Amino acid sequence: MSTSSTTERLLGLVDLCTKAANAYDRQDLVVRLLNARDRLLGPAVHVLVVGEFKQGKSTLINALLNVNVCPASDDIATVIPTLLRHGEEPTAEAIVEGPDTAEDPDQTDQPVAVERKPIDLAQVGALASETGNAEDREGVRMVEVSVPRRLLETGMALVDTPGVGGLNSVHGAATESALSLADMVLFVTDASQELSANELAFFRRAHQKCENLVIVLTKVDIYPQWRRILDINRGHLARNNLAIDIVPVSSTLRQLAHQQGSRELNEESGYPALVDKLESEASKQGVAAVHRQAIDDVRFCIEQMDQAFAAEEAVLSDPNAAARVISELEAARDRATALRARSAKWQQTLTDGAQDLTGDVDHDLRARVREVTAAAEATLDEDDPGKVWAEFAPWLEQRVAAEVAMNSEKLRARADGLALRVAEHFAADEAAIEHNLDLNMPQHEAVEFDPQIDLDIAGLGGSALTAARGAYGGVLMFGMLGNLAGLALLNPLTVVVGIGLGRKALKEERKRSLTMRQQQSKAAVRKYIDAVTFEVSKESRDLMRRVQRDLRDEFSARAEQLQISTREALAAAEAGAKEALAERQSRLADVTAERGRLAKLASRTDAIAATVEGDAR
């Protein structure tokens, strides 16, 4: 069965369960089910389209979906990520981040509020590219576009990322940080040349974070030797033990095929093979994860609704068991009440864990930047900054970016672990816990390393002038002493002394200039690293606050739902124990019928769950 059909069945199941929750006056469960519905309708598979500038990423997406949304031109570049998802009507929104006005405005360390601002579809290209007004892009972190396309119906979302500007650059490291969150990665490179050593190194790192990596070789219609480049690239991958497929495509032929409705041109473009990749097992696994989450939510809600009826049925069918059932429910009620208390152990685990995590991640970042600073200063001590700066500055940016990316990875892994530790406190009352957190990587503002310092080395003319000044002083001083002895101002002795003092002056001046260049360059390095540390620390703290709030809200809602269920079950059991014999049988029939309806809903859930597992395989 297709994933879209499974999604439709799940939406119907969620709607039925929502009706049941409304009928039983369980608004707390209705909220959970509505959230599950939103997730089913949202993107389930995120495909990142990455690569260097001017490789054809935006054109690839436009041709793939037959749209003209992503900015595509030879002389402009994408600077803001653009996410394309399915929608019944074409719409566009700008995702804008700014200080949370709910917090104290005097606080400089504020969380970030996210706002969605509708924009005209025709404005997307300008807003997401470098041609747009920089003021209009201020605070915009992403542009989200909805288009009615069959490829996106299953829950796929394509993300057009900015060019990394060098795979070892700051933007390249930021892209690598996001790879672990992607379900699939399309690396775009054109057919003008074979894969570089940097690209192969990037593939090795990227393949560890996202196994579903596909290389798309673009512009094969422009370069006649593309088949030779394709064979060379496959050889490079084989020698590096990288099992990555390469799909050659022509966006021009694809767009022409759309215009003429030509199946032959479409096949020749290479895009059908790429579409097959996108609809492959990787995409199915991503959709299956969202489906499983919805199934878990439905099962949880059915169990909570059934709890009261099960308790009442147990008492009505066996009055002698009433005392035992009520005692067990009272104990469950006490556990649920304890979970809602501010002093609950899960609250303590969350608070302590968030504080420990924030401190550990901050310490890890400072340890990393301290190591980078020490390595940078050692390099500047060994070499003349004026000679090595052209190579040193890119190295510093790359090294800092790599350390920031590893620090972000640690933050995400530790935050996910904290969520699991908090969930363990609920294990006594539930068979399984699935936390529904979106632990996105922090998006750090790029800090450019552009120090305004003078590292010029004096040329031949400057050195000669310095030597001449030193020699002149020596000749003058010793010449005057020679005059007292009856010698001429210029004589062999004063010339020799002048040359010696000139060389000494030149050596001291070079040493002074070198020391000044080293001090200036070290100060610039420390200033840059301090700026990066400040920015990254702020973003990391913001993310941890969001994680803490999300976990608190998630598990507070779950504790409330457990408390409501046990309270209603206890009330139903107590009421059943008081029923008269004549009324007991009638009520038992009603309760059994209600449990039968919920059992049918559970059976339907199990059937869809089996389908989901079958689709995933």
C-alpha triplet 307, 594, 556: angle, nearest 5°: 30
- Please answer whether residues 65 and 174 qualify as being in contact, where contact means their C-beta atoms are separated by less than 8 angstroms: no
Report whether pLDDT(103) > 50: no
User: Does 594 score more than 50 pLDDT?
Assistant: yes
Q: In what order do the strands lie in the sheet with 213-218?
A: 112-119, 91-99, 140-147, 82-86, 156-160, 45-51, 184-190, 213-218, 245-248
Instruction: Indicate whether 239 and 336 sit together in one domain.
Output: no
pLDDT at 76 over 80: no
Range of 208-212, 373-377, 537-541 with top mean pLDDT: 373-377
612/617 Cα distance (integer angstroms) = 9
**Which stretch, 104-118, 159-173, 203-217, has highest mean pLDDT?**
203-217
Cα–Cα distance for residue pair 70/72, rounded to 1 Å: 6
- Residue that wins the pLDDT comparison between 117 and 578: 117
pLDDT confidence bin for 437, thresholds 50/70/90: very low
Range of the domain at 59: 42-279
Q: Per residue in 516-534, pLDDT tens? A: 878 888 888 888 888 888 8
pLDDT of residue 503: 64
Tell me what the pLDDT averaged over the chain comes to: 77
CA distance 12 to 608: 11
Q: Domain boundary residue among 279, 305, 340?
A: 279
Comparing CA positions, the residue from 277, 218, 276, 227 lying closest to residue 252 is 218
Q: Which residue has the tokens 């294990």?
A: 427
pLDDT at res. 111: 47
Average pLDDT of span 341-354: 81
Asked whether residue 256 is domain-assigned, the answer is: yes
Could you give the CA distance from residue 29 to residue 9 in angstroms, rounded to a whole number?
Answer: 20
Residue of 82, 71, 25, 44 whose CA lies nearest to 438 = 44
Residue 498 and residue 489: Cα distance in Å, rounded?
12
Contact (CB, 8 A) for 301 and 18 = no
Length of the chain counted residue by residue: 617
**pLDDT for the residue numbered 358:** 86
User: Looking at 38-171, which runs of residues are DSSP E strands?
Assistant: 45-51, 82-86, 91-99, 112-119, 140-147, 156-160
**Could you read off the pLDDT of 385-421 as tens digits, one per residue?**
878 888 888 788 778 877 887 787 788 778 878 888 8
The larger pLDDT score, comparing residue 68 to residue 97, is at 68
Q: Higher model confidence: residue 550 or residue 229?
A: 229
Q: What pLDDT score does 342 carry?
A: 65
94 and 55 within one domain = yes
In the 8-state DSSP scheme, what is residue 52?
S
Res 326: pLDDT: 79
Is the pLDDT at 109 greater than 70? The verdict is no
Is the pLDDT reported for residue 112 higher than 70? no
* Rounded average pLDDT over 230-247: 92
Burial of 93 from C-beta contacts in 10 A (0-12 / 13-18 / 19+): middle
Q: What is the distance in angstroms between the CA of the first residue and the CA of the last residue of the chain?
A: 12
Residue, of 463 and 383, whose pLDDT is higher = 383
Q: What is the pLDDT of residue 505?
A: 59
| Alpha-carbon span 520 to 454, nearest angstrom | 8
Would residue 30 count as lying in a domain? no
The answer to whether residues 580 and 607 belong to one domain is: yes
Segment of 221-225, 312-316, 318-322, 547-551 carrying the highest mean pLDDT: 221-225
- The structural domain count of the chain equals 3
Whether residue 99 lies inside any domain: the answer is yes
Residue 108 has a pLDDT of: 42
User: What CATH code is carried by the domain that includes residue 239?
Assistant: 3.40.50.300
Q: How far apart are CA 94 and CA 596, in angstroms?
A: 48
Do 266 and 414 sit in the same domain of this protein?
Answer: no
Q: Which of 244, 279, 314 is the last residue of a domain?
A: 279
pLDDT band at 73 (very low <50, low <70, confident <90, very high): low
Q: Which residues pair with 246 in a beta bridge?
A: 215
Least confident residue range of 13-27, 122-136, 323-337, 522-536? 122-136
| Whether residue 161 is found in the same domain as residue 251 | yes
One domain, residues 386 and 489: no
Q: Is the pLDDT of residue 214 over 80?
A: yes
Assess whether pLDDT exceeds 80 at residue 207: no
pLDDT at 235 over 90: yes
Residues 484 and 567 in one domain: no
Residue 9 amino acid letter: R
* pLDDT score at 40: 83
- Give the per-residue pLDDT at 227: 93
Instruction: Name the range with the highest mean pLDDT among 12-26, 316-330, 574-588.
Output: 12-26
* Calpha distance 159→81 (Å, rounded): 7
Residue-wise pLDDT for 538-564, tens only, equals 878 887 888 788 888 878 887 887 778
Does residue 191 share a domain with residue 91? yes
Q: State pTM to two decimals.
A: 0.60
Query: Measured between alpha carbons, how far is 526 from 376 in angstroms, rounded to an integer?
Result: 9
Secondary structure (DSSP) of 528-592: HHHHHHHHHHHHHHHHHHHHHHHHHHHHHHHHHHHHHHHHHHHHHHHHHHT--HHHHHHHHHHHH
Q: In 32-50, which positions are buried (b, 16+ CB within 10 angstroms) versus exposed (e)?
A: bbebbbebbeebbbbbbbb
Q: What is the pLDDT of residue 357?
A: 86
Q: What pLDDT does residue 435 have?
A: 43
Q: Is residue 231 part of a domain?
A: yes
Task: Flag whether 270 is in a domain.
Answer: yes
User: Residue 592: pLDDT above 80?
Assistant: yes
Residue 509 has pLDDT above 90, yes or no: no
**Taking a C-beta distance cutoff of 8 angstroms, is the pair 567, 435 a contact?**
no
Same domain, 516 and 382: no
State the average pLDDT over residues 266-272: 92
Residue 8 lies in a domain: no
- Residue 285 in any domain: the answer is no
Write the burial class of residue 56 (CB in 10 Å: 0-12 exposed, 13-18 middle, 19+ buried).
Answer: buried
Q: Which residues make Cβ contacts (< 8 Å) with residue 465, sequence separation at least 6?
A: none
Please state which of the ranges 20-34, 198-212, 257-271, 276-290 shows the lowest mean pLDDT: 276-290
Q: Is 566 found in the same domain as 493?
A: no
The three-state DSSP-derived secondary structure of 190-245 is: ECCCCCCHHHHHHHHHHHHHCCCEEEEEECCCCCCCHHHHHHHHHHHHHHCCCCCE
Using CA atoms of 278, 281, 282, 286 in order, give the dihedral in degrees to the nearest 10. Answer: 110
Instruction: Taking residues 156-165, report their average pLDDT.
Output: 74
Share of the chain above pLDDT 90, in %: 13
Same-domain pairing of 300 and 334:
yes
Give pLDDT, residue 607.
92
Residue 7 lies in a domain: no
Same domain, yes or no: 344 and 218: no
pLDDT per residue as tens digits for the range 243-255 = 899 999 999 899 8
Half-sphere exposure of 593 (CA within 13 A, CB side): 6
Q: Is 96 helix (H, G, I), strand (E, B) or coil?
A: strand
Helix ranges (H only) for 383-433 are 385-423
